[in-house]
Amino acid sequence: DHLVNQIAAGEVVERPASALKELLENSLDAGSQNLQIELQAGGTKLLKVIDDGCGIAKEDLALALHRHATSKIASMEDLARVATLGFRGEGLASVASVSRLSLTSRFTDRDNGGQMSAHAWRVEADHGRMLDPEPAALAIGTTIEVHDLYHQVPARKKFLKSDATEYAHCAAMIERLALANPNVQFTVMHNGRAQHRWMAGDLAKRAAAIIGDEFVKTGIPVDEGFGNLRLHGIAGSPTLGKSSRDAQFFFVNGRFVRDKVVQHALREAYRDVLHHNMHAAFCLFLEMDPEGVDVNVHPTKIEVRFRESQAIYRFLITSLSKALAKTTA
Ligand code: ADP
Ligand code: MG
């Protein structure tokens, strides 16, 4: 079982950034308003997330580290309709099987008037081997520490790149989650040094902090809807210049994706309306019926599969063209 877990872990947790993604998505699913992230050595030595979410009750703590233990779906039919970011119940188990992990949490019963448990509990796991929960001190939420990810799994360790590269992957991951959740405060430290502090606000404020002031100042606000589809966010002005080219963020129901249909539609709209062949920066959100998009793809992949990709394609071109046209009118 231990080996099976470690092999499966490689599927979910490719590198520190993917482990961090699992941790942060859990914190966001738990309704956190403030996330503190501390990394050491690109996340290979330490990944630490402090959140102020609903926490985990003592009796669920050990369970949270078990494969296929999820509090987020009651039945398999729910799978198609998942609104939360995590739903497979394999994120934490995977991370725990290839690291030394400590999970401290104080449960707030939000269904019961916010009643808090008397104190927090901590459970520690060493490569999947778990100790019993012990009482701990923590004011609110969950604090999770992942030490030495893959240090004892040579087959995986050799795929890790330099600390700087692993940190860059982590930072890119954090940016995506921070753009999708501008109402949540993020603080990022690496090797004891402060990297980012993004206060809670709206998308314009968050995008200014992450993509740049110019992007927001010269950008074109987008908010178009048709049926169950809605596209909103900021389409960057193509005059912004090359530096913003890789600032292309597209989210489907809050998840960052990179998709050919989307890329193609956006390029087409820019070309048709602004006669501009250059890629522009953008930060756009597509909201749609979850049943129309396959989220049950590989956990580390950022591709999506739309049921009706032609309809999505047309909607994206139409709504983005409409928004862009307003600026040229
Ligand atoms: P999933 O997110 O797919 O449900 P995970 O393995 O990532 O599975 O997490 C297992 C469970 O542990 C979650 O369903 C949730 O109940 C709990 N959990 C994990 N992290 C947190 C957190 N930061 N705050 C509250 N609950 C958490
Ligand atoms: Mg999860």
Instruction: State pLDDT tens for residues 49-99.
Output: 999 999 999 999 988 998 766 666 555 455 555 555 555 678 899 899 999
Mean pLDDT of 263-270: 90
Q: Whose CA is nearest to atom 15 of ligand 1?
A: 71
Would you report the helix, strand and coil content of the chain in percent, each value rounded to 5? Answer: 40, 25, 35
How many angstroms does the Cα of residue 196 sit away from the middle of ligand 1?
A: 25
Q: Whose CA is nearest to atom 7 of ligand 1?
A: 91
Q: Do the Cβ atoms of 124 and 130 come closer than 8 Å?
A: yes
Give me the chain's average pLDDT, please: 88
Q: Which CATH architecture has domain 213-328?
A: 2-Layer Sandwich (3.30)
Helices 260-274 and 309-328, interaxial angle, to 10°? 30
Domain boundaries, the chain: 2-198, 213-328
Taking CA atoms, 45 is separated from 15, 84, 99, 100, in Å, by 12, 29, 10, 10
Helix (H) or strand (E) holding 165: helix 163-180
Asked whether 19 and 13 are in contact (CB, 8 A), the reply is: yes
pLDDT at 76: 46
User: CB under 8 Å to 258, separation ≥6 — which residues?
Assistant: 250, 302, 303
Mean pLDDT of 30-52: 98
Q: What is the pTM of this model?
A: 0.91
Write the DSSP symbol of residue 281: P
Instruction: Answer with the residue of higher pLDDT: 203 or 2.
Output: 203
Kindly give the distance from the C-alpha atom of residue 259 to the centroid of ligand 2, in angstroms, as a whole number: 23
308/293 Cα distance (integer angstroms):
8
Q: What angle do CA 128, 102, 173 make, to 5 degrees?
A: 95
CATH, range 2-198? 3.30.565.10
The 10s digit of each residue's pLDDT in 274-303 is 776 666 889 999 999 988 988 655 666 677
pLDDT band (50, 70, 90) for residue 233: very high
What ipTM is given for this predicted complex? 0.99
> What is the 20 CA–ligand 2 centroid distance (Å)?
10
Encoded amino acid at 80, one letter? A
Q: Which pLDDT band, with edges at 50, 70 and 90, does 327 fall under?
A: confident
For ligand 1, pick from 22, 70, 94, 111 the residue to mutate: most ligand atoms within 8 Å of CB: 70
Question: DSSP assignment, residue 65?
Answer: T
- Looking at ligand 1, which residue's alpha carbon is closest to its atom 4? 70
Q: How many whole angstroms from 64 Cα to the centroid of ligand 2?
A: 9
- CA 79 remoteness from chain centre: 19
Q: Provide the CA 319 distance to its chain's centre, in angstroms.
A: 26
Q: Which residues line ligand 1 (CB under 6 A)?
A: 22, 26-27, 30, 51, 53-56, 64, 69-72, 86-93, 142
User: Quick check: 184 pLDDT over 70?
Assistant: yes
